[in-house]
């Protein structure tokens, strides 16, 4: 977002002097009293309703509409900057989509079909009026105005509002006339046909742009006039991200407007050309999107689908057991690898716990953001790195198949850029975007902009975008800026060619036969667990910590306990917590191993300076000095680690605590007698 919201007007004195002020409509009123009222009391006893509102809450709107025989509502969006036709089109489209995606839309649809509700979308983005005009069949009237939108936040006391009530006919006549004038000149009607079509098809307005209210409203007239925004209108606003993104898609497809008495004129022919281009572009995008994976989690119905194919959320036990068998069979095959296979299994299982739970993170990040929790507690990136032939690629393929039920190809290294990943996130859902054997240069050039983009999707209220899963042989370590944002899994095992061929059949069979039953059972349980987490973040005291890793791993443990004999459950299936991923000894475990091994095998390479409280490790001659930097990257800040050519310099006391070693050279007698 390029603009920042400001508490003060940024215009200079000269700017103010150059503005020719138009006359303001000022309502003169006298103060009667102030009292506390419930929102139902404000609206009770009236039969007809007219509303101009912004930032509406549809659940509250549905409850409000149920109190009236008929109603007219004009929806606007006060967070938009520019008044141009692309922005108006985008605003109308996004408001319609917001209406159709709300669970209360059925009540709205029924009232429209019965002819008791008319909805309008503003085409003047600079209006800020909030008006409620109420009238009863016996002639009583009321006007509610001030700062309150038609939302629960405004009328249920969740935020401070200035709510003013007029219970006299003069006020009603004045404000009702303002409503009618605004409706006639600055609003487009949303018909029931368009609403119902958008309920069925999220892409309806892209495929049928002529049904957008502002374009449909040109029937019988020559075109559309738009008053452009002046520069001074920009200072106290913030762009609504969804609308800006959609407007940016629309603008290149519009012909250059003509000017008519200071306003911009878009003829009907211009709009027809736009509709043709928009349809063509929509078809191209739809064809592309249909090839992209979409693992959709529905938080209302607690169901999962992949590319619109619904999952069985109560899978039979044999299917779940089968998936578990193929998963454990693959991990058991790691015993044939050289290196510490037990630790590799534990590391892979930790990665599985992150991978399985990652589709829930966008929703949890939104709840965390709204309730002042750290969104980094739900990391969007998982990286498996280490030597080649360690089973990394096959394992992620296995996880991908367990979530999607199908084989999904990895993305090319060239896709690992901020722009490409933003596009993928906007068009994919749930299933982590997978980069196999990511090139070191590509990672180095783009990791900062990709991985440090912490607040992606927050402003847009996105809750379905995918995480990133990366495997690479090229990274010896993760620096601190990455390791605090990403799950790091270093694999220190490898298999030779002969053994690889021997175990290929077992591995390929697991990939071929494993399905999504295990994940369906996991997701069914996680929906409830995630709902409880979200509720705790909304209502708990400050000491609550939303540990999604603990919740997810417990869910996995419960499934294993239910479907597998106790003695058959692998040791690596265990409860995990946030500290298992982001504890300083977890991030630095490879550095710990290297320093401990070096101290045991070559203590002469260490210098202990007690006076300065420093520990200096000098790398052996002929060794790769870059290793020192990799070790430093994995050490916590409290060690104050510094690299200088061939040396790694650390705080002595902190190092002894971290490595759990006493860095003291053995005496002559200790060396002599062991």
Distance, CA of 590 to CA of 347 (rounded, Å): 12
- Alpha-carbon Rg of the chain, whole angstroms? 31
Lowest mean pLDDT among 466-470, 599-603, 647-651: 599-603
Distance, CA of 609 to CA of 407 (rounded, Å): 57
CA distances (Å), origin 409, targets 431, 435, 446, 507, 551: 12, 9, 21, 17, 30
What is the residue whose two structure tokens read 């004045």?
A: 174
According to the model, what pLDDT value does residue 591 have?
A: 86
**Taking CA 23 as the corner, what is the angle to CA 20 and CA 25, rounded to the nearest 5 degrees?**
145
Three-state secondary structure string covering 169-205: HHHHHHHHHHHHHHHHHHEEEECHHHHHHHHHCCCHH
pLDDT at residue 505 above 90? Answer: no
Distance, CA of 203 to CA of 97 (rounded, Å): 9
- The mean predicted confidence, pLDDT, of the chain is 84
According to the model, what pLDDT value does residue 6 have?
A: 32
pLDDT (tens digit per residue) in 395-421: 999 999 999 999 888 888 888 998 889
Mean pLDDT over 122-141 rounds to 86
Task: Residue 531: name the closest of 295, 316, 297 by CA.
Answer: 297
pLDDT at residue 103 above 80? Answer: no
Model's pTM, two decimal places?
0.62
Measured from the Cβ of residue 134, the count of other Cβ atoms closer than 10 Å reads 26
What tokens were used for 651? 């705080």
Distance, CA of 409 to CA of 440 (rounded, Å): 20
Number of residues in the chain = 674
The larger pLDDT score, comparing residue 504 to residue 297, is at: 297
Confidence band, pLDDT 50/70/90 cuts, at residue 311:
very high
Assign residue 569 a region (left: φ > 0; alpha: ψ between -120 and 50; beta: otherwise): beta
According to the model, what pLDDT value does residue 57 have?
A: 67
According to the model, what pLDDT value does residue 584 have?
A: 84
Task: Residue 87: name the closest of 52, 121, 130, 131 by CA.
Answer: 121
Distance, CA of 47 to CA of 74 (rounded, Å): 18
Residue 191 CB burial class (10 angstroms; 0-12, 13-18, ≥19): middle
Q: Taking the mean position of all CA atoms in its chain, how far away is CA 605?
A: 48
Distance, CA of 356 to CA of 469 (rounded, Å): 12
Confidence band, pLDDT 50/70/90 cuts, at residue 527:
very high
pLDDT at residue 617 above 60? Answer: yes
Confidence band, pLDDT 50/70/90 cuts, at residue 590:
confident
Q: Return the DSSP state at 188.
A: E
Furthest C-alpha separation in the chain = 108
What tokens were used for 25? 């409509």
Mean pLDDT over 545-561 rounds to 96
Angle of the 105-113 helix axis to the 85-100 helix axis, nearest 10: 100
Distance, CA of 510 to CA of 530 (rounded, Å): 30
Share of the chain above pLDDT 70, in %: 87
CB 566 within 8 A of CB 558: no
Distance, CA of 133 to CA of 173 (rounded, Å): 9
CB 339 within 8 A of CB 494: yes
Helices and strands in the chain, H and E counts? 28, 21
Confidence band, pLDDT 50/70/90 cuts, at residue 5:
very low
Mean pLDDT over 341-357 rounds to 95
CB 377 within 8 A of CB 477: no
The half-sphere exposure of 514 on its side-chain side, counting CA atoms within 13 A, is 29
Pairing of strands 163-166, 606-609: unpaired
Mean pLDDT over 330-354 rounds to 92
Confidence band, pLDDT 50/70/90 cuts, at residue 8:
very low
Distance, CA of 657 to CA of 642 (rounded, Å): 18
Distance, CA of 561 to CA of 410 (rounded, Å): 33
CB 362 within 8 A of CB 475: no
According to the model, what pLDDT value does residue 96 have?
A: 84
According to the model, what pLDDT value does residue 616 have?
A: 93
pLDDT (tens digit per residue) in 221-242: 666 655 554 433 332 222 344 6
* Residues in a beta bridge with 71: 49, 117
What tokens were used for 220? 């019988």
Confidence band, pLDDT 50/70/90 cuts, at residue 285:
low
pLDDT at residue 98 above 60? Answer: yes
Tell me how far apart the terminal alpha carbons of the chain are, to the nearest angstrom: 66
Distance, CA of 86 to CA of 412 (rounded, Å): 34
Mean pLDDT over 138-161 rounds to 85
Confidence band, pLDDT 50/70/90 cuts, at residue 528:
very high
Distance, CA of 338 to CA of 669 (rounded, Å): 38
CB 378 within 8 A of CB 365: yes
According to the model, what pLDDT value does residue 178 have?
A: 92
Angle of the 241-250 helix axis to the 85-100 helix axis, nearest 10: 130
CB 384 within 8 A of CB 398: no
Distance, CA of 564 to CA of 477 (rounded, Å): 36
CB 475 within 8 A of CB 361: no
Mean pLDDT over 340-358 rounds to 95
What is the residue whose two structure tokens read 């080649």?
A: 388
Q: Is the dihedral of CA 439, 440, 445, 451 positive or negative?
A: positive
Task: Residue 551: name the closest of 534, 582, 576 by CA.
Answer: 576
Lowest mean pLDDT among 25-34, 38-47, 54-63: 54-63
Mean pLDDT over 559-568 rounds to 94
pLDDT at residue 167 above 90? Answer: yes
Give me the phi and psi of 285, to 5 degrees please: -65, -40
Confidence band, pLDDT 50/70/90 cuts, at residue 13:
very low
Mean pLDDT over 536-554 rounds to 91
pLDDT at residue 623 above 70? Answer: no
Task: Give the list of residues 6+ apart from residue 192 with CB closer than 8 angstroms, or none.
Answer: 109, 112, 113
According to the model, what pLDDT value does residue 229 have?
A: 47
Distance, CA of 617 to CA of 592 (rounded, Å): 13
CB 473 within 8 A of CB 387: yes
CB 643 within 8 A of CB 579: no
Distance, CA of 339 to CA of 492 (rounded, Å): 6
Distance, CA of 23 to CA of 303 (rounded, Å): 55
Mean pLDDT over 138-156 rounds to 88
């Amino acid at each position: 977002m390029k603009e920042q919201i400001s508490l003060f007007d940024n215009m200079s004195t000269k700017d103010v002097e150059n503005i020719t002020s138009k006359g303001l409509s000022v309502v003169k009123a006298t103060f009667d009293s102030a009292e506390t009222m419930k929102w139902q009391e404000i609206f009770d006893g009236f039969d007809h309703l007219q509303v101009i509102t912004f930032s509406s809450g549809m659940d509250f709107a549905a409850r409000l509409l149920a109190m009236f025989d008929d109603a007219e509502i004009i929806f606007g969006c006060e967070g938009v900057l520019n008044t141009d036709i692309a922005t108006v089109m985008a605003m109308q489209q996004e408001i319609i989509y917001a209406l159709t995606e709300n669970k209360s839309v059925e009540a709205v649809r029924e009232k429209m079909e019965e002819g008791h509700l008319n909805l309008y979308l503003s085409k003047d983005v600079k209006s800020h009026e909030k008006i409620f005009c109420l009238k009863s069949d016996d002639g009583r009237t009321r006007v509610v105005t001030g700062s309150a939108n038609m939302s629960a936040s405004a009328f249920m006391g969740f935020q401070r509002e200035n709510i003013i009530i007029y219970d006299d006919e003069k006020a009603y006549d004045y404000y009702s006339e303002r409503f009618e004038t605004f409706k006639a000149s600055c609003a487009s009607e949303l018909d029931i046909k368009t609403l119902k079509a958008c309920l069925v098809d999220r892409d309806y307005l892209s495929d049928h742009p002529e049904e957008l209210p502002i374009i449909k409203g040109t029937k019988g007239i020559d075109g559309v006039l738009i008053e452009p925004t002046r520069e001074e209108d920009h200072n106290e606003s913030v762009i609504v991200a969804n609308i800006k993104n959609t407007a940016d898609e629309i603008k290149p497809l519009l012909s250059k407007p003509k000017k008519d008495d200071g306003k911009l004129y878009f003829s009907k022919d211009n709009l027809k050309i736009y509709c043709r281009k928009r349809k063509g572009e929509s078809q191209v995008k739809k064809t592309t999107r249909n090839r992209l994976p979409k693992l959709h989690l529905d938080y209302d119905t607690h169901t999962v689908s992949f590319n619109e194919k619904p999952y069985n959320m109560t899978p039979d036990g044999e299917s779940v057991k089968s998936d578990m068998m193929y998963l454990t069979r693959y991990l058991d095959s790691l015993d044939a690898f050289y290196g510490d296979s037990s630790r590799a299994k534990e590391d892979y299982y930790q990665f599985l716990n992150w991978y399985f739970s990652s589709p829930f993170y966008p929703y949890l990040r939104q709840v965390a953001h709204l309730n002042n929790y750290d969104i980094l507690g739900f990391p969007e990136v998982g990286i498996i790195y280490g030597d080649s032939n360690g089973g990394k690629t096959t394992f992620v393929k296995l996880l991908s198949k367990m979530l999607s039920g199908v084989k999904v190809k990895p993305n090319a290294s060239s896709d690992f850029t901020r722009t490409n990943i933003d596009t993928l996130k906007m068009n994919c859902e749930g299933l982590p975007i997978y980069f196999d054997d990511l090139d070191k240069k590509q990672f180095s050039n783009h990791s900062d902009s990709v991985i440090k983009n912490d607040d992606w999707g927050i402003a847009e209220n996105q809750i379905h975008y995918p995480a990133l899963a990366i495997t690479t042989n090229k990274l010896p370590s993760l620096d601190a800026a990455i390791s605090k944002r990403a799950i790091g899994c270093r694999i220190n095992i490898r298999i030779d060619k002969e053994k690889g061929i021997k175990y290929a059949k077992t591995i390929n069979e697991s990939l071929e036969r494993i399905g999504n039953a295990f994940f369906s059972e996991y997701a069914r349980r996680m929906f409830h667990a995630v709902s409880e987490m979200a509720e705790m973040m909304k209502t708990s005291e400050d000491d609550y910590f939303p540990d999604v890793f603990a919740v997810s791993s417990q869910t996995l443990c419960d499934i294993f306990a239910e479907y597998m004999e106790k003695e058959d459950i692998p040791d690596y299936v265990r409860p995990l917590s946030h500290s298992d991923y982001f504890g300083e000894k977890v991030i630095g475990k490879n550095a710990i191993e290297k320093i401990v091994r070096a101290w045991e095998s070559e203590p002469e390479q260490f210098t202990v300076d007690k006076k300065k409280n420093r520990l200096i490790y000098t790398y052996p001659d002929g060794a790769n000095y870059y290793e020192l930097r990799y070790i430093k990257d994995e050490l916590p800040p409290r060690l104050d680690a510094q690299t200088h050519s061939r040396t790694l310099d650390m705080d002595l006391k902190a190092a002894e605590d971290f490595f759990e070693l006493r860095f003291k050279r053995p005496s002559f007698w200790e060396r002599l007698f062991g």
